[in-house]
């Protein structure tokens, strides 16, 4: 089945895959060729996919950190659209941890100001940074 992961700025990943695991609000959605058509939202987290090359399994999983988004499945094609997705975080783990701390401090401040929309935006960004930190650690141990 074909997979395309894209943001408004670029295509992050486009290739044939064997299967994919996608973080949703209720569970990790597992999708394989012939899956029933569906549309669902994605929560920030780690997408895990298994690529296929020249009709043969490549053998290694690929991980992508993502923010909120949508997935469209028709049985032969999986299309993921998200504001942010990362195959490998460019920032160092220490920078990511500092960004996380800054956002947590901002969220505490916003809670006193009762800015619900700003709190929600900051929480989504915090979840994406947490996914980037998790991905960075996974890549370092691989």
Per the listing, tokens 């895959």 go with 17
Domain endpoint, select from 86, 108, 129: 86
Would you state the pLDDT for residue 22? 94
The dihedral sign for the CA sequence 32, 84, 11, 138:
negative
Domain count, the chain: 2
On whether both 78 and 111 belong to a single domain, the answer is: no
Residue closest to 15 by CA, chosen among 65, 63, 49: 49
Q: Mean pLDDT throughout 44-61?
A: 76
Tell me: the pLDDT tens digits for 95-112? 888 988 988 888 888 888
Domain endpoint, select from 69, 86, 103: 86
Residue closest to 35 by CA, chosen among 65, 68, 67, 79: 79
On whether both 72 and 10 belong to a single domain, the answer is: yes
Would you state the pLDDT for residue 21? 94
Q: Are 45 and 29 in contact (CB under 8 A)?
A: no
On whether both 29 and 98 belong to a single domain, the answer is: no
On whether both 55 and 101 belong to a single domain, the answer is: no
- Distance, CA of 34 to chain centre: 22
Domain endpoint, select from 45, 61, 86: 86
Would you state the pLDDT for residue 39? 93
Residue closest to 110 by CA, chosen among 127, 97, 101, 123: 123
**Token pair for 60:** 């290694």
Q: Domain of residue 7: give its range.
A: 2-86
On whether both 64 and 34 belong to a single domain, the answer is: yes
On whether both 14 and 81 belong to a single domain, the answer is: yes
Q: What is residue 87's three-state secondary structure?
A: coil
On whether both 75 and 7 belong to a single domain, the answer is: yes
On whether both 117 and 66 belong to a single domain, the answer is: no
Find all residues with CB under 8 Å of 103, minimum gap 6, and list them: 122, 125, 126, 129
On whether both 102 and 76 belong to a single domain, the answer is: no
Indicate which CATH number applies to the domain containing 52. Answer: 2.60.15.10
Would you state the pLDDT for residue 117? 85
């Amino acid at each position: 089945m074909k997979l395309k992961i894209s943001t408004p700025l670029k295509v992050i990943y486009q290739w044939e895959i064997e299967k994919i695991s996608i973080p949703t609000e209720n569970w990790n959605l597992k999708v394989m060729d012939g899956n029933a058509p569906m549309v669902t939202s994605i929560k920030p987290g780690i997408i895990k996919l298994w690529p296929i090359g020249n009709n043969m399994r490549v053998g290694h999983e690929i991980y992508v950190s993502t923010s909120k988004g949508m997935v469209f499945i028709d049985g032969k094609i999986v299309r993921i659209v998200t504001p942010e997705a990362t195959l490998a975080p460019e920032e160092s783990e220490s920078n990511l941890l500092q960004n996380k701390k800054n956002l947590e401090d901002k969220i505490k401040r916003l809670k006193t100001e009762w800015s619900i929309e700003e709190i929600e935006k900051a929480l989504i960004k915090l979840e994406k940074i947490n996914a980037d930190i998790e991905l960075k650690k996974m890549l370092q141990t691989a």
